[in-house]
Structure 1
């Protein structure tokens, strides 16, 4: 299991909420922070989760693949951020 998904499940985040988080990450990574903050994860765990994603962005692709979401939206979001 993807370590990001495992951390979310460890904090009783539902499968639907996990999909919502990764859908937000694929569409607008900056706005996804609001979604993640509303999950009720303790601040220190949330910071560790964000550091994990920043240090290993491939985990987002792995999780998106694991959840069956569309990774092409992640690539489009990257392009939008670079402009």
Structure 2
């Protein structure tokens, strides 16, 4: 299992909330950050999650694919943010 998804599941984040988070990430990455803060993860787990993402950004792609979402939408949203 993807480490990002594993951290979320270890902290009792429902599959519905996980799917919602990654859907938000594909639609609007800034909104996804707000969604992450609403998950109620303990600070150390949130920090661990962010460290995982920073050290290995491909984990996001893997998680999106594991959830059956369209990664090209993540790339498009990222491009919008960079403009």
Q: TM-score, normalised by structure 2?
A: 0.92
Give the RMSD, CA atoms, in angstroms.
1.0
- SS of the aligned residue for 1:25 comes to helix
Structure 2 equivalent of residue 76 of structure 1: 76
Structure 2 equivalent of residue 31 of structure 1: 31
In the TM superposition, residue 27 of structure 1 has moved relative to its aligned partner by 1.7
CA distance in 1: counterparts of 2:33 and 2:46, whole angstroms: 10
Deviations 1:35-64 (A, max 9, x none): 011111001211221121122111111001
Q: TM-score, normalised by structure 1?
A: 0.92
The 4+ residue runs of structure 1 with deviation greater than 2 A are none
CA distance in 1: counterparts of 2:30 and 2:56, whole angstroms: 17
- SS of the aligned residue for 2:70 comes to coil
In the TM superposition, residue 2 of structure 1 has moved relative to its aligned partner by 0.4
Residues paired across the two proteins, number:
83
